């Protein structure tokens, strides 16, 4: 009979039965929860001096969890956001056990009482147009690899796709009819259709020439489907090269997600309404998309240029010249 005080049996049920069978969470979420346990369990085993398979739930005390979170921040140099993400996985694990084992409710409540650390949201980074143009000009399109890298960077800029979304795009997802577009599978399996510029469509048509319908669009040097890690590596490699031409890139931490932010900000500057940008990027809520309006300094500068600044005398004259408004204010 399985000893339900041991951690091991609960881990398997949590990862296999709960996350996949009951919740059907996305692969990335499953991997995130799994990675949190992969980090925590060896730390706990070393802390109490037992093999992992002998760990019991009582060994996972709130004090041990706090030590683990401190280890993440100080030794692994994780950000507060990452620390909180790992803690969220531990909370979910404890909640899962508490629901199925009433005798462990006290332990569950103590673990879930370990608080998240407050953190400020970092200022979102994006590339200005000259920086993005330089990045796109960096690959050598005369070579097979350079052509793929240029097509990938252009695709990311056109669609605002995440790294894993770009990696999963297949030839079947592309449509080159009168209005070129691509079907992108986003978070939680949500599908969105994104239009392609003529330049992007022509570049992708050249890249996939001779490919079968089910093949991925972006392949690695061994002609296998590229991974999201490969996508991120390509972006970082060309950012490093482009920074030698545009010095401002050296001071920015640029990733695939930075290009996604860049797409949104440039669409906003081009006059595209915020709801269209939300659908373009696959955001569920407008609140997420509104962040781009908050960080766009160029639009704020244009708004400031339209503001009139009055001296005290001019201000009095300005308001006195609007009798209807003044009468309304006096009536209050």
Enzyme catalytic residues: 162, 187, 257, 260, 283, 292
Task: Give dist(CA 263, CA 245) in Å, integer.
Answer: 21
Taking residue 147's Cβ as centre, other Cβ atoms within 10 Å add up to: 16
Of 63, 125, 129, nearest in space to 257 by CA: 125
DSSP element (H, E) containing 194: strand 191-195
Q: Which two tokens stand for residue 192?
A: 């969105």
Sheet bearing 181-185, strands edge to edge: 174-175, 181-185, 191-195
User: Could you tell me the end-to-end alpha-carbon distance of the chain, in angstroms, rounded to an integer?
Assistant: 78
Measured CA angle at 28 (ends 23, 31), to 5 deg = 85
Dihedral angle, C-alpha 14, 18, 24, 25, nearest 10 °: -40
Task: Give dist(CA 183, CA 191) in Å, integer.
Answer: 7
- Which alpha helices (H) appear in 49-143, and where do they start and end? 62-74, 80-100, 105-112, 129-137
- Residue 91's contacts (CB-CB under 8 Å, 6 or more residues apart) are 111, 112, 114
Task: Give dist(CA 119, CA 69) in Å, integer.
Answer: 15
Angstrom CA distances, 137 to 104, 142, 153, 222, 252, stand at 59, 12, 10, 25, 18
Partners of 183 in beta bridges: 193
Are residues 173 and 182 in contact, defined by beta-carbon separation less than 8 angstroms?
Answer: yes
């Amino acid at each position: 009979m399985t000893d339900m005080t041991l951690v091991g049996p609960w881990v398997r049920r949590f990862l296999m039965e709960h996350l996949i069978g009951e919740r059907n969470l996305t692969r990335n979420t499953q991997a995130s929860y799994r990675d949190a346990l992969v980090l925590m369990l060896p730390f706990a085993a070393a802390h109490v001096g037992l093999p992992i398979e002998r760990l019991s739930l009582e060994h996972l005390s709130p004090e041990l969890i706090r030590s683990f979170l401190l280890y993440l921040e100080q030794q692994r140099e994780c950000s507060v956001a990452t620390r909180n993400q790992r803690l969220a996985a531990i909370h979910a694990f404890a909640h899962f056990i508490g629901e199925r084992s009433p005798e462990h409710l006290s332990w569950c409540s103590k673990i879930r009482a370990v608080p998240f650390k407050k953190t400020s949201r970092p200022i979102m980074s994006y590339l200005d147009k000259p920086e993005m143009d330089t990045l796109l000009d960096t690959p050598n399109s005369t070579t097979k690899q350079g052509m793929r890298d240029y097509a990938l960077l252009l695709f990311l800029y056109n669609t605002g796709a995440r790294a894993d979304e770009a990696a999963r795009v297949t030839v079947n997802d592309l449509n080159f009819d009168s209005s070129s577009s691509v079907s992108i599978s986003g978070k939680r399996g949500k599908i969105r259709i994104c239009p392609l510029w003529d330049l992007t469509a022509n570049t992708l048509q050249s890249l996939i020439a001779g490919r079968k319908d089910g093949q991925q669009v972006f392949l690695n040097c061994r002609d296998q489907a590229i991974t999201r890690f490969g996508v991120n590596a390509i972006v970082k490699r060309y950012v490093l090269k482009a920074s030698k031409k545009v010095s401002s890139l050296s001071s920015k931490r640029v990733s695939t997600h930075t290009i996604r932010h860049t797409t949104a900000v440039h669409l906003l500057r081009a006059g595209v309404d915020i709801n269209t940008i939300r659908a373009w990027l696959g955001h569920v809520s407008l609140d997420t998309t509104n962040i781009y309006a908050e960080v766009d300094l160029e639009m704020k500068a244009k708004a400031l240029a339209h503001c009139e600044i009055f001296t005290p005398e001019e201000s009095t004259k300005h308001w006195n010249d609007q009798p209807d408004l003044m009468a309304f204010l006096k009536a209050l």
